[in-house]
A = this chain, B = another copy of it.
Amino acid sequence: MLKRGLERGEVLRALGEVFRAHGYEGASLTLITEATGLGKGSLYHLFPGGKEQMAAEVLAEIDGWFERHIFAPLRTADDPARAIAAMIAGVDQYFHSGDRVCLVGMVALGSARDSFAEAVDGYFARWQTALASLLRRSGLTNSQAQRRAEDALLTIQGALVLARARGDAKIFRRALSDLTARLLAPPA
């Protein structure tokens, strides 16, 4: 059991924030011990694989969250409009309306990408497939659905980058609102 009842999930959440704030290479063990309140001894006891294992588990936890809250609902929903609204709401919540950065996207851009290529690709691939399957059920052809899902993912990532770059979270909310309309539009 962990000291002070700290669960592994809480540790992972703290780790996630450190990686988000400083990137994989920038997240030093000093920063990590500060953020988690855990000494090196505890850290390496929990994660014998070191920083790489920490990052891998953080990515897996993020993936799990999206799987439960975003991907799975998309696959099973029967009302497209409601499902899309729910996805957008979930995304808005997860990214704190643009104040929070996407760790998966960050890793993809950095040099740590190669170490986590599979996790990164899988995350976006499953998201796109889940969204496309919903769009197909709403009347789009397979290729239309794939393309529109790709557009959705790329819009979310771009909005996070631009919002961060310009220090204006409203950019993210505007993009999400436009995206909702674009996803619900009738097939061209």
User: Does the CB pair B167–A111 fall under 8 Å?
Assistant: no
Please provide the chain A residues from 102 to 150 with a CB less than 8 Å away from any CB of chain B in the complex.
104-106, 108-111, 113, 117, 120-121, 123-125, 147, 150
Is A21 located at the chain interface by the 8 A CB criterion? Answer: yes
Provide the bound-state CA to CA distance between A89 and B53, in Å: 41
Query: Residue A157 contacts which of B26, B120, B162 (CB distance < 8 angstroms)?
Result: B162
User: Does the CB pair B110–A26 fall under 8 Å?
Assistant: yes
Is A156 located at the chain interface by the 8 A CB criterion? Answer: yes
Which candidate, A40-48, A80-88, A170-178, is the interface stretch facing chain B?
Answer: A170-178
Is A158 located at the chain interface by the 8 A CB criterion? Answer: yes
Is A164 located at the chain interface by the 8 A CB criterion? Answer: yes
Residue of B nearest to A22 (CB): B111
A-to-B contact residues, CB < 8 Å:
21-23, 25-26, 101, 104-106, 108-111, 113, 117, 120-121, 123-125, 147, 150-151, 153-159, 161-162, 164-167, 171, 174-175, 178
CB of A106 to closest CB in B, whole Å: 5
User: Does the CB pair B26–A111 fall under 8 Å?
Assistant: yes
Provide the bound-state CA to CA distance between A127 and B159, in Å: 15
**Interchain Cβ contacts under 8 Å between A and B, 27 examples:** A21-B111, A22-B25, A22-B111, A23-B25, A26-B111, A104-B165, A105-B109, A108-B161, A108-B164, A108-B165, A109-B161, A109-B164, A113-B164, A113-B165, A121-B166, A125-B166, A147-B174, A147-B178, A150-B162, A150-B171, A153-B162, A155-B155, A157-B157, A157-B158, A157-B161, A157-B162, A161-B161
